[in-house]
Amino acid sequence: MGIKYAVVFVFIVALVIIEKESNIISRMSDKMMQRQTPPQTTQSSPDYSKTTTNNLTALDMLLSKVNASEESRTNQTEERREEELQNGGRKNILLMATTRSGSSFMGEVFNQHGKNMFYLFEPLWHVQYTSIKTYNSSFLPAIYRDVLQGLFLCDFSLLEKFLSPPPQDHVATWLFRRYSSLSLCEEQVCTPFVKEVFERFRCPNQQCGPLNLTLASQLCLSKQYQAIKTVRVHQLEMLRPLVEDPRLNVKIIQLVRDPRAILASRMVVFSTKYQTLKSLVQDGQVPENDEEWKALQGNCDNMKRSAELGLSQPRWLRKSYMLMRYEDVTRNPVERVEEMYRFTGIPFSPEAREWILRNTQTTQNADDFFSTQRNSSEQAEKWRYSIPFTLAQAVQRLCGPTMKLFGYKFVNDAKMLVNKSVSLCEDKTFH
């Protein structure tokens, strides 16, 4: 795009110079004619209309060529990216969601893929909590994007700047929920374990000490696929540079959930944070000015705006975006996860299939808020029995347009809210 405008600018400057030279020559010619021609003789002025028309025509032709060249380069980039994907090149997946929308489960279905997958659980957590003290919040989206770009290239150097305590010689003494990544618990990145200091680094089937980020980068590069789960990217548009980067081959899956269910889950898990909201609701009030209430409205607006952009399939996002409802996954977990794998171009491994079957038909950890083991068919609408009708109704007013876009039905009274025979999720296909 920069080349296009530079060429146009140079051409316009050239036109201006030509015009000035033409005017100078014209004036000189007029003076000479005045000396040579008797005063009573009328000399017609030069006709510049043809020159101007010719110049504009040339400019139009130049713009057409530049546009054609630009479009050709865009098409070549898309074709190259698609060819790399089809030929089994490295593939990156970004799972974009909001808190308490089922994103941990969705991340796990990729984490469990097998030895060819490198998975990171909420690496942007460090960016958010370190940046609160340092940067204006308006800078966060750009920082998130740059950190994600580095991670998709298996470069941890930018993330290191946000880790606390700071890594020494690229060795981090703590990483948020490291144990949620099977890759970061592999033997080759595990340093000797020191129980007194690194109790939080307890990985499945083994205990790992500090994380050597240089070794983690090497391990990442050795994998064919990478998936990152985050609830901190709120606008799909900000990911455009990543999608357009031909080195990355990024596919984005946006996970959404009924806003009423999201609020109900947050009120249970973060009970202290939602204490004021609970009190107001019990008194029959709708807390319009409550901070968490405003946050929910922001989430609804962001989900809707991003989904509308993704579903409109602009050129830069074509074949790189998928929308998935949490409720659809819980009703048909294997079928929906297989659909997501097909979208990413990654084989649906037997390990992932087995994990899904084993972890969607159990009540073993039903009381663990952060567990990924659930009876999925019961989990989808469990929220209906933990939220008062007045609050559900208030959410409907707050997030109505978002709910309509995603096919979530409104409840008209308290009986309908708890009526198991009435599903609040319409059958809907998103393309």
- Cβ–Cβ under 8 Å, residues 366 and 377: no
Report pLDDT for 21.
Answer: 47
Report pLDDT for 376.
Answer: 57
Report the distance separating Cα 255 and Cα 235, nearest Å.
13
Report pLDDT for 364.
Answer: 52
Report pLDDT for 112.
Answer: 95
411 is written with which tokens? 């409840």
Non-local (6+) Cβ contacts of 63 within 8 A are 8
Q: Where are the alpha helices (DSSP H) in 245-370?
A: 259-269, 275-282, 291-311, 326-331, 333-344, 350-359
Report pLDDT for 130.
Answer: 85
Report pLDDT for 242.
Answer: 97
Report the distance separating Cα 203 and Cα 190, nearest Å.
10
Cα 53 vs. chain centroid, distance in angstroms?
48
Amino acid letter, residue 326: Y
What is the chain's alpha carbon radius of gyration, rounded to the nearest angstrom? 30
- Contacts of 162-168 with CB under 8 Å at 24 or more apart are 162/126, 162/127, 162/130, 162/131, 163/126, 163/130, 164/126, 164/130, 167/213
For residue 350, say if its preceding peptide bond is cis, omega within 30 degrees of 0: no
Q: Is the pTM of this model over 0.85?
A: no
Report pLDDT for 194.
Answer: 59
Per-residue confidence in pLDDT tens, the chain, 431 aa: 555 445 445 444 444 444 544 454 444 444 444 444 433 433 343 443 444 444 445 444 544 544 454 455 545 545 554 554 444 589 999 999 998 888 999 999 999 999 999 999 999 999 998 877 777 777 889 999 999 999 999 999 999 999 999 999 999 988 999 999 999 999 888 877 655 444 455 676 667 888 999 999 999 999 999 999 999 999 999 999 999 999 999 999 999 999 999 998 888 887 677 777 777 666 666 666 777 788 889 999 999 999 999 999 999 999 999 999 999 999 999 999 999 999 999 999 999 999 999 998 755 544 444 444 444 566 778 899 988 898 899 899 999 999 999 999 999 999 999 998 999 999 999 97
